[in-house]
Structure 1
Amino acid sequence: MNKNTPMGEVLEPVDRAIVDALHRDGRAPWSRVAEQVGVSAVTVRRRYENLHKRGLIRVIGATDVVRLGLGTPIYMRISNAHADLDVLIPRLRERIEVRSFHTLLGSVDIAAEMVLPPDADYSRLVAEITEGTSASVEGLLLTHAFASGQDWAPPFDTNEPSRLAPVKTEPAPHLDLSPSEVKVLGLLMHDGRTSLSDLAASIGKSENTAARTIEQLKEHGVLDFRILVEPELLGFDTEFHLWLVVEPQHLKQTALTLAEHPSTKYLTATTGNCSLAGQFIVRDRTELFHYSTEVLGSLPGVRSAELSIQTATYKRVWTSIVDGKYATEGQPLDPIEYLRPRP
């Protein structure tokens, strides 16, 4: 059980329907969401703002950090860390390079995904994070993401989760953005419902220009609006991580098959001691045996599979989670500043 939310707490049906609508279009007008949910626009907005204020949901602008040249995605597996969690967790939370991290039950104590700017010194970063602790770190280079966790969604009216975006079979080409596009994207990554007036003020242009900038980012394929919500609130109590060693001739087909499975939240090819790494979700731990035998057992070329249960999440998509709530304070990520050389 992930201890992010109180045991047994789930969203009310109306709130669940609002989350479902916003996950598909996070900037949809309240009137359109109201039509889908079957309540008034005033009710939709009031309930959304209540959930947002309580830190239970947050609309974000989802993007592709590799296409934008924001840096190199690295997956850190941290072991021998139990005695030092009170030191390591604050350090990981504070590092801007850390996009998400979780504590686990298994041979790995912490899994952290990082985006390293081009000039970053990985060895120095690891040393700063682990200084004074007994933790050991294994770094995996992420070479291709087949499925993004931001696209995982359990529809309101069905029992099986689905993907909101197609599985990525090939890497997308690099894309250069204008300064205005970069600024708007950074604000929307922090809060997907940032007003047009605030976006316009940030780039010194009109609201019409800000609206066109959003559309340009969407047309470029580097902006989708999704909603952050902890899976427990949707009735999914068990998240786990998998590290698979797959025979090279079966790697791509196995990855595509696994990426399409409804339990797959995130899946990437890696370098190092495993060839595929990912995050997965089932409703409860009783489903783990079925998953291990029926799902993993049917995949071709799998030499070994290491599974670790997720016990808590402290950061998702650069959003800190404190006491089970999404933190709303802090500054939006400025991609230009992020890429500026560090001393």
Structure 2
Amino acid sequence: MQDFDDADLALIHALQIAPRASWALLGAVLGVDPVTVARRWQRLSAAGDAWITGYGSAALMRRTSMALVAVSCLPGRLPEITARILDDPHAVTVEHTTGNCDLLVTVWTTGLADLSDYLVGRLSRLPGVTATRTTMVTEVYAEGSSWRVGVLDAAARDRLRRAALSRATGTGELRTADRPLALALGRDGRLPYPELAAAAGITAATARRRVARMLDDGVLTIRCELARYASHRPVSVTLWANVPPGELAATAAAIASRPEVRLCAAVAGTQNLIVTAWLSALADLQRLEISLAARFPGLSIAERAIVLRHQKLMGRVLDEAGRAVRSVDMDIWRPPSARRPAGALP
């Protein structure tokens, strides 16, 4: 594993704010020659230490079906089960965890029927899976695209925000014709417009207009990610909590603003709130829980899981250090196994 220096983290922070900003702008903000910035990014991305991916926004998540599925496995079968689902387009994130399950899988489909098909026709049928428990996401208050490494000063952040492509809040409806663009951006969120055009069978000018429209309509998120070891927050934890229904929205919004929080979502299940945080050390988990209890007296934590390894993170298969190895299209529109057309790939 390479050591990240301050310049690496500054570039990643800049790309978290404006992931498709020009090298000229990034160089101007960071005080570095644009060619040097481009070479630095090429080094980071080639090593899998950082990457940029595009996917449906929180608005699209509300219109589709996303669930956190806790999977229990027979002893010794975990590696095989994990390997079997890594290339599933609907299993967008796969984590090996402590707690009441062996795997925590984020499953994303177009609707409840497709979710059922994936769970019953694919996941539950894998040899060695003994049980699954599904928690539906009903509202997303924060997800990984809003998390920051936090090294740039306010002036640099403001300059990048002004130059970033618009990210309005829209209906979350992604046009069928735009799906090839969304999938191509999932593989590389900085893919040049001519290459995006080739992937979608359109002109570069049309690709530019459509990407801008998807961002303006609030249906597309483009996110810069880095290997967790380089984030100075190597511990990932997920908490399941209960909050009085009348306090849920305000509580979730407040928790979502915390700098360590990667995911904050209202859910329908035994609990009604899920929080994922990246921490500097395991001891920070107790401090986090104490802080939440003091700030939100009505919140009670029912379950906690520590991620032993991220096997896949929003379409990226990762190695043991958390570096990106390859991408898997988050093609949530593809029919799950139970209703897959005859002759389709397994």
TM range (shorter): 0.7 to 0.9
> What is the distance in 1 between the residues matched to 2:121 and 2:332?
25
Q: Over residues 167-193 of structure 1, what are the superposed CA-to-partner deviations in whole Å (9 max), with x where a residue is unaligned?
A: xxxx963425251x2221221122111
Provide the residue aligned with 2:95 in structure 1.
102
Gaps of 5+ in 1: 1-5, 166-170
Query: Which amino acid is the alignment partner of residue 214 of structure 1?
Result: V
The 3-state SS of whatever aligns with 1:83 is: coil
Provide the residue aligned with 1:230 in structure 2.
227
Provide the residue aligned with 1:59 in structure 2.
52
Distance 1:132 1:116, change over 3 A: same
> What is the distance in 1 between the residues matched to 2:174 and 2:10?
37
2:127 to 129, 132, 156: 132
In the TM superposition, residue 135 of structure 1 has moved relative to its aligned partner by 2.9
Tell me the C-alpha RMSD between the 2 structures.
Answer: 2.8
> What is the distance in 2 between the residues matched to 1:291 and 1:68?
27
1:257 to 246, 251, 254: 254
Distance 1:50 1:281, change over 3 A: same
TM-score under structure 2 normalisation? 0.84
> What is the distance in 1 between the residues matched to 2:68 and 2:330?
20
2:23 to 24, 30, 40: 30
Provide the residue aligned with 2:166 in structure 1.
none
Q: Over residues 247-283 of structure 1, what are the superposed CA-to-partner deviations in whole Å (9 max), with x where a residue is unaligned?
A: 2222222212211222211011111211111211121
In the TM superposition, residue 82 of structure 1 has moved relative to its aligned partner by 4.9
> CA contact under 8 A between 1:88 and 1:129: conserved in structure 2?
no
> What is the distance in 1 between the residues matched to 2:10 and 2:55?
21
> CA contact under 8 A between 1:117 and 1:339: conserved in structure 2?
no
Provide the residue aligned with 1:12 in structure 2.
5
> What is the distance in 1 between the residues matched to 2:16 and 2:64?
26
> What is the distance in 2 between the residues matched to 1:33 and 1:140?
40
1:141 to 136, 139, 153: 136
The 3-state SS of whatever aligns with 1:146 is: strand
TM-score under structure 1 normalisation? 0.85
> CA contact under 8 A between 1:10 and 1:234: conserved in structure 2?
no
Gaps of 5+ in 2: 162-168, 342-346
Distance 1:152 1:62, change over 3 A: farther
Provide the residue aligned with 1:168 in structure 2.
none
The 3-state SS of whatever aligns with 2:77 is: helix
Provide the residue aligned with 1:173 in structure 2.
171
2:83 is the counterpart of 1:74:
no
Query: Which amino acid is the alignment partner of residue 203 of structure 1?
Result: A
> CA contact under 8 A between 1:65 and 1:71: conserved in structure 2?
no
Provide the residue aligned with 2:84 in structure 1.
91
> CA contact under 8 A between 1:117 and 1:338: conserved in structure 2?
no
> CA contact under 8 A between 2:65 and 2:115: conserved in structure 1?
no
Query: Which amino acid is the alignment partner of residue 211 of structure 1?
Result: R
Query: Which amino acid is the alignment partner of residue 31 of structure 1?
Result: A
1:185 to 178, 182, 185: 182
The 3-state SS of whatever aligns with 1:189 is: helix
2:308 is the counterpart of 1:311:
yes
> CA contact under 8 A between 1:268 and 1:277: conserved in structure 2?
yes
Provide the residue aligned with 2:116 in structure 1.
122
2:277 to 276, 280, 286: 280
Distance 1:333 1:80, change over 3 A: closer
> What is the distance in 1 between the residues matched to 2:16 and 2:150?
10
Distance 1:182 1:65, change over 3 A: farther
Distance 1:252 1:150, change over 3 A: same
Identity %: 20
> What is the distance in 2 between the residues matched to 1:25 and 1:49?
17
Deviates more, 1:241-250 or 1:130-139: 130-139
Distance 1:155 1:201, change over 3 A: same
Distance 1:116 1:241, change over 3 A: same
In the TM superposition, residue 137 of structure 1 has moved relative to its aligned partner by 1.0
> CA contact under 8 A between 2:55 and 2:182: conserved in structure 1?
no
In the TM superposition, residue 91 of structure 1 has moved relative to its aligned partner by 2.0
> What is the distance in 2 between the residues matched to 1:262 and 1:275?
22
The 3-state SS of whatever aligns with 2:184 is: helix
Provide the residue aligned with 1:21 in structure 2.
14
1:321 to 318, 321, 324: 318
Distance 1:339 1:98, change over 3 A: closer
2:207 is the counterpart of 1:210:
yes
> What is the distance in 2 between the residues matched to 1:108 and 1:337?
27
> What is the distance in 2 between the residues matched to 1:176 and 1:128?
26
How many residues align? The count is 325
